[in-house]
Amino acid sequence: MKDPYILNLSNLKESFIETELEKAMVEPIKIVLLELGNSFSFIGNQYKISVDDKEYFIDMLFYHTKLHCYIVVELKNTEYRPEYAGKLNFYLSAVDDLIKTESDNPTIGIILCREKTKFSVEYSLRDINKPIGVNSYEISKILPKDILEVLPTEEDLNLHIDIIEEENE
């Protein structure tokens, strides 16, 4: 077993209790898993698979505990492009052959991209016989409530700036 575990939890206070440690560890994982839906279990990111002596890295790999299958998630910071379906289809085949067991169902793929258009997705997936979904995502600009509560207000910042300016005069 690994010892010690190095936990990068910069939002944790110097003096903390066990439940605060647990919350700091679970919160980032929980937010993503809850957004994906119930029964997702995180396996890894940049998950390495080897095919023909070449290494490939799956952006995110999950296991769905109710569907009993792996879920490959490819992240794209662009509008959907048809070639993304080919890459994901490759990953699904590799996971089914290299990782999936006989008791698992076929692997599912999800492409998360900034934008998508109906026909690019439809035409690129029409003759692929693997379960692939294409979804867009949005980045929330809202900070969590516990962070907002400890940040200074605009008035506090302006007051501090005024004090500094007065000291420099």
* Distance from C-alpha of 70 to C-alpha of 59, rounded to nearest angstrom: 13
Is residue 95 pLDDT above 70, yes or no? Answer: yes
DSSP string covering 44-74? EEEEEEEETTEEEEEEEEEEETTTTEEEEEE
Q: How many residues does the chain have?
A: 169
Report yes or no on whether pTM surpasses 0.75.
no
| pLDDT for res 38 | 86
**Roughly what angle, to the nearest 10 degrees, separates helices 83-98 and 118-125?**
40
Percent of the chain with pLDDT over 90: 38
Work out the pLDDT band at 6, boundaries 50, 70, 90.
confident
Between 169 and 130, residue with greater pLDDT: 130
pLDDT, tens digit, for every residue of 114-151? 888 889 889 988 888 888 888 887 766 665 666 666 66
Residue ranges of domains in the chain, CATH in brackets: 18-168 (3.40.1350.10)
